[in-house]
């Protein structure tokens, strides 16, 4: 018997059960009596989550990401750890990779640590992709503790999502390229994740609304490695494009290196837009126009909302966050 079961039997939300456990004045006496009666009938003893920020809290948050060596993941973990320390919370980090079984195993291991809440960093946990990964293991974890998903979303009891509006950002970026005269825009991506699929939707919508065809030959999936992208583009001599929209800065830098190798002038001959506004975007020459998906803001919202949930307060299940296009030297609009 857990807090999820008590909430279901009492016909109230998990947050309401938490408020009753903490004797919050925001819950009516009638509701308190109903919930307490269900707890007594089922011999329920409040666990760490139900007590929120009380003395019995372990003051520890679990964080799972695919690979902490990835620049985006590393910065997100850093932001999370810094903000959690401000609330006197510790954290436990697990790297799961992107395979379903490994993600499930990482969650199983971190749940054994009696954490107060769980943060999943990255859209790979949203259950989309070529294999259609299941999110049941996350939903099961959410029956015991609140789960927070950064840059991905799906519906589930006690699951909270904070994500970038990638579809809109991609649409705006590609529209800018089209309106500056580009007609054959290459879509470069390394995955079919929730985030990558939203970017693809924005790319395709921009083409359609500007009267341009959506061509399969202009969608290229490759490893997110600078030289690999450069070389695969050089190998495809027959592929004609005058602009690149990449779902990560690393891939965009690969396109810039391709242009240098071909003797092309940027942005005159080739315009390039990356994604994430990472250090790579200012390390290449010319400096890269890129979409800033405001990762620090996503992490700040996640931690602040988490603390509210642990206190028994209501927060939105989904929080979309607007991206920002950072214009530098690889575009001329």
Number of Cβ within 10 Å of residue 93's Cβ equals: 17
Report if residue 257 sits inside a domain: yes
Looking at the structure, tell me whether residues 176 and 286 fall in a common domain: yes
Q: Average pLDDT for residues 20-25, to the nearest whole number? A: 80
Distance CA 52, CA 141 (A): 17
pLDDT given at position 78:
96
Structural domain tally of the chain? 3
Per-residue model confidence as pLDDT tens digits over 255-271: 999 999 999 999 999 99
Give yes or no for a contact between 243 and 270, defined as CB atoms under 8 angstroms apart: yes
Report if residue 46 sits inside a domain: no
Q: Which range is least confidently modeled, 10-24, 100-114, 212-226, 229-243?
A: 10-24
Report if residue 55 sits inside a domain: no
Report if residue 52 sits inside a domain: no
pLDDT given at position 14:
74
pLDDT given at position 131:
55
Looking at the structure, tell me whether residues 188 and 244 fall in a common domain: yes
Q: At residue 103, does pLDDT exceed 80?
A: yes
Looking at the structure, tell me whether residues 150 and 228 fall in a common domain: no
pLDDT given at position 62:
97
Distance CA 260, CA 266 (A): 8
Which helix (H) or strand (E) segment holds residue 280: the answer is helix 280-283
Distances (CA, A) of 145 to 98, 130, 139: 23, 29, 10
- Locate tokens 């359609």: which residue? 208
Structure tokens at 228: 């690999």
Q: In what order do the strands lie in the sheet with 117-121?
A: 90-95, 60-65, 117-121, 147-150, 159-164, 318-321
Q: Which range is least confidently modeled, 62-71, 78-87, 124-133, 172-181?
A: 124-133
How does residue 132 score in pLDDT terms, banded at 50, 70 and 90? low
Report if residue 49 sits inside a domain: no
Long-range contacts of 215-224 (CB under 8 A, 24+ apart): 215/184, 218/184, 218/185, 218/186, 218/187, 219/186, 219/187, 219/189, 220/186, 220/187, 220/188, 220/189, 221/189, 221/190, 221/191, 221/192, 222/188, 222/190, 222/251, 223/190, 224/190, 224/248, 224/250, 224/251
Structural domain boundaries enclosing 111: 60-164+295-321
How does residue 129 score in pLDDT terms, banded at 50, 70 and 90? low
Distance CA 281, CA 284 (A): 6
The proportion of the chain whose per-residue pLDDT surpasses 90, expressed as a percent, equals 76
pLDDT given at position 54:
43
Q: At residue 130, does pLDDT exceed 60?
A: no
Please, which residues have CB within 8 angstroms of residue 262's CB and are 6 or more apart in sequence? 234
Give yes or no for a contact between 109 and 94, defined as CB atoms under 8 angstroms apart: yes
Looking at the structure, tell me whether residues 75 and 138 fall in a common domain: yes
Q: What is the mean pLDDT of the chain?
A: 91
Looking at the structure, tell me whether residues 128 and 148 fall in a common domain: yes
Q: At residue 4, does pLDDT exceed 90?
A: no
How does residue 21 score in pLDDT terms, banded at 50, 70 and 90? confident
Q: At residue 53, does pLDDT exceed 50?
A: no
This prediction has a pTM of 0.81
Residue whose C-alpha is closest to residue 249's, from 282, 203, 286: 282
Q: Average pLDDT for residues 174-199, to the nearest whole number? A: 96
How does residue 57 score in pLDDT terms, banded at 50, 70 and 90? low
């Amino acid at each position: 018997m857990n807090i999820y079961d008590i909430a279901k039997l009492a016909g109230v939300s998990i947050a309401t059960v938490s408020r009753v456990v903490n004797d919050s004045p925001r819950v009516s006496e009638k509701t308190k009596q109903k919930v307490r009666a269900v707890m007594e009938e089922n011999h329920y003893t409040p666990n760490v989550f139900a007590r929120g920020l009380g003395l019995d809290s372990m003051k520890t948050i679990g964080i799972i990401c695919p690979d902490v060596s990835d620049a985006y993941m590393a910065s997100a973990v850093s932001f999370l750890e810094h903000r959690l320390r401000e609330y006197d919370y510790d954290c436990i980090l697990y790297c799961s990779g992107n395979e379903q079984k490994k993600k499930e195993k990482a969650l199983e291991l971190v749940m054994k640590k009696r954490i107060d809440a769980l943060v999943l960093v990255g859209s790979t946990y949203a259950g989309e992709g070529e294999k259609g990964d299941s999110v049941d293991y996350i939903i099961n974890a959410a029956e015991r503790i609140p789960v927070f998903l950064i840059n991905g979303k799906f519906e589930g009891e006690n699951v909270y999502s904070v994500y970038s509006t990638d579809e809109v950002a991609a649409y705006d970026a590609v529209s800018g390229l089209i309106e500056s005269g580009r007609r054959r825009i290459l879509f470069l991506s390394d995955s079919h994740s929730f985030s990558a699929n939203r970017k693809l939707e924005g790319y395709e919508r921009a083409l359609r609304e500007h009267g341009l065809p959506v061509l399969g030959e202009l969608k290229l999936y490759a490893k997110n490695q600078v030289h690999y992208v450069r070389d695969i583009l050089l190998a495809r001599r027959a592929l004609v494009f005058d602009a690149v929209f990449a779902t990560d800065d690393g891939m965009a830098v690969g396109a810039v290196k391709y242009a240098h190798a071909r003797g092309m002038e940027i942005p005159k001959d080739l315009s390039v837009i990356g994604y994430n506004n990472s250090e790579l975007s200012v390390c290449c020459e010319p400096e890269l126009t890129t979409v800033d998906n405001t990762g620090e803001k996503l992490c700040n919202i996640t931690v602040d909302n988490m603390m509210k949930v642990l206190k028994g307060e209501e927060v939105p299940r989904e929080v979309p966050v607007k991206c920002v296009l950072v214009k530098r030297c690889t575009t001329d609009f």
